[in-house]
Amino acid sequence: MQKLSSIRLPWPTDWAALFGAERPLILEIGFGYGAFLKHLARTNPDANIVGIEIANQCLASVERAVEREKLTNVRIIQSMAETALHHLFTPATLSQVHINFPDPWFKSRHSHRRLMQRDTLDVIVSRLQPEAALYLATDIIEYAEMSAELLASTPGLDNVLPTPWANAMVGRVVTKYEGRAQREGRACYYFAYRRNAQPAPEVPVIVEGEMTHVVFKTPLSLDDILARFEGVENRPDADTIIKSLHSYRGDNVVMFEMFTHEPTIDQHYALVVSPRENDNEYTLKVGTLGYPRHTPGLQKAVAFMGDWLVRLHPDAVIVHHKLGEY
Ligand SMILES: C[S@@+](CC[C@H](N)C(=O)[O-])C[C@H]1O[C@@H](n2cnc3c(N)ncnc32)[C@H](O)[C@@H]1O
């Protein structure tokens, strides 16, 4: 089976076309070794089931199992939850979202990437259809308490249970983490919420922007540019980190290896400087290496590196540029 990823899928994705049928769309975030995802597929033959996961081992193992068991109503997507929710799914399209045992190390330094936080819950609510269900399970009491508070303060969701959570959920298949918690005698906390008629937070689908480039003039040669390169980090705003990591020389190009972090996506890609026909003129643009998507962060990176290139020499100037709003 071909590996699908949020980097390669269209933004937003036409799920009916991908599955070959228009059916209710069910999402599981962080399916791990897939027990729950396979159960969803078997018990919802008339739905399109999407599982997203970041761990390669889990992806490979569940892809093999889905193929072996001929579960044709499942698609496995390599993606961070945030990327899938913001770029792939349109508002009011999901009939169920399942999150099982997320963030086991949520108190560590990774806590800022925690799945259950306001921004991510807002985009989940925005993507749920009216009456759609959101299920969460955890075995960490602090995580349960934090989630209970967050969910209860979300106007677009109603608790289906009479209590903030339940300690058992009838009919559930036991996931790997859940099994371990049970064997080790830890309690589990299950949440069940339903999308109500309150307006959802407005969270637009992030689609790709224009391809950007900078044309500049400098007395420096490609070798001079290469020699002056040093890795730098830039934070054009509170949410974006741009890093230039390495530089490389090709036949008639200099290539910069870049990394950009944005709230919804991390990208590793190349920016390329190549000479133009006019003397001393060069173009800086995004290279095709690594399948870059033209997000606001990438546009900011082109602007940042264009600026860096002209600052290398007092006589260097930008001739023209296409940089969107940056
Ligand atoms: C503790 S495991 C639980 C796995 C499985 N749901 C279970 O119950 O056995 C958490 C899983 O979520 C995945 N994960 C963590 N953060 C994620 C994110 N932001 N987007 C997608 N998957 C994520 C991890 O790779 C891991 O497989």
Q: What is the pLDDT of residues 22-31, one digit of tens each?
A: 999 999 999 9
pLDDT for residue 111: 62
Span from the CA of 53 to the centroid of ligand 1 (angstroms): 6
115 CA: nearest ligand 1 atom: 19
pLDDT for residue 161: 97
82 CA: nearest ligand 1 atom: 19
pLDDT over 70 percentage in the chain: 97
Span from the CA of 28 to the centroid of ligand 1 (angstroms): 10
pLDDT for residue 5: 96
Q: What is the mean pLDDT of residues 203-216?
A: 93
pLDDT for residue 325: 65
pLDDT surpasses 70 at 173: yes
The Cβ of residue 85 has, within 10 Å, a number of other Cβ atoms equal to 27
pLDDT over 90 percentage in the chain: 90
pLDDT for residue 15: 98
**Cα 30 from Cα 51, distance rounded (Å):** 7
Q: Ligand 1 pocket, 81 CB below 6 A?
A: yes
pLDDT surpasses 60 at 184: yes
**Which residue's CA is the closest to the ligand 1 atom numbered 14?**
30
Rg from Cα positions in the chain = 23
Q: What is the mean pLDDT of residues 290-307?
A: 94
Q: Give the start-to-end residue ranges of the domains of the chain.
A: 4-195, 213-322
CATH class of the 4-195 domain in this structure: alpha beta
Give the pLDDT band (50/70/90) at residue 2: low
Q: Ligand 1 pocket, 102 CB below 6 A?
A: yes
Q: What is the mean pLDDT of residues 226-233?
A: 95
- Helix ranges, 176-254 (H): 176-183, 222-228
pLDDT for residue 323: 80
pLDDT for residue 202: 96
Residue carrying the six token digits 């890093």: 243
Span from the CA of 103 to the centroid of ligand 1 (angstroms): 7
pTM of the model: 0.93
**Cα 215 from Cα 322, distance rounded (Å):** 9
Q: Is-catalytic flag, 119?
A: no
pLDDT for residue 307: 95
Q: Ligand 1 pocket, 298 CB below 6 A?
A: no
Q: Is the Cα dihedral 287, 290, 295, 301 positive or negative?
A: negative
pLDDT for residue 287: 95
Q: Ligand 1 pocket, 115 CB below 6 A?
A: yes
Span from the CA of 31 to the centroid of ligand 1 (angstroms): 6
pLDDT for residue 170: 87
**Cα 213 from Cα 191, distance rounded (Å):** 48
Q: Ligand 1 pocket, 78 CB below 6 A?
A: no
Residue 162 three-state SS = coil
Q: Is 3 in contact with 34 (CB distance < 8 Å)?
A: no
Mean pLDDT of the chain: 94
Span from the CA of 100 to the centroid of ligand 1 (angstroms): 8
**Which residue's CA is the closest to the ligand 1 atom numbered 23?**
30
Ligand 1 pocket: which of 5, 6, 29 to mutate (most atoms within 8 A of CB): 29
pLDDT for residue 1: 52
Q: Ligand 1 pocket, 139 CB below 6 A?
A: no
Q: Ligand 1 pocket, 39 CB below 6 A?
A: no
80 CA: nearest ligand 1 atom: 20
Asked, as a colleague might, if the bond just before 12 is cis with ω within 30 of 0, I would say yes
* 74-122 pLDDT tens trace: 999 999 999 999 999 999 999 999 999 998 887 765 566 799 999 999 9
178 CA: nearest ligand 1 atom: 8
**Cα 147 from Cα 128, distance rounded (Å):** 18
Give the phi and the psi of residue 273 in degrees, each rounded to 5: -110, 125
* 243-286 pLDDT tens trace: 999 999 999 999 999 999 999 999 999 999 999 998 899 999 99
